[in-house]
């Protein structure tokens, strides 16, 4: 069973996407942590649309989560 069956990221061409990494999320998570960002799957979980120009920062994510109340 794939470890990334839940992945909701549409950018399957991204070199960090689980489909490019033997169905593992490690490369994606590592890249996001290095850049102080939250992965796309978390954004989609709170109902946010994402684009390549989106602000994926921890702060922006926290603001969006808090505004959902």
Q: What is the pLDDT of residues 6-55, one digit of tens each?
A: 788 888 999 999 999 988 999 999 999 999 999 999 999 999 888 878 89
Contact 46, 28 (CB under 8 A): no
Phi, then psi, of 11 in degrees rounded to 5:
-85, 70
Give dist(CA 53, CA 22) in Å, integer: 27
pLDDT at 63 over 90: yes
The pTM assigned to this predicted structure is: 0.80
């Amino acid at each position: 069973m794939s470890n990334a069956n839940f992945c909701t990221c549409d950018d399957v061409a991204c070199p960090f996407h689980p489909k490019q990494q033997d169905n593992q999320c490690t490369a994606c998570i590592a890249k996001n942590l290095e850049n102080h960002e939250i992965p796309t799957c978390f954004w989609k979980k709170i109902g946010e649309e994402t684009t390549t120009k989106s602000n994926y920062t921890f702060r922006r994510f926290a603001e969006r989560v808090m505004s959902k109340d």
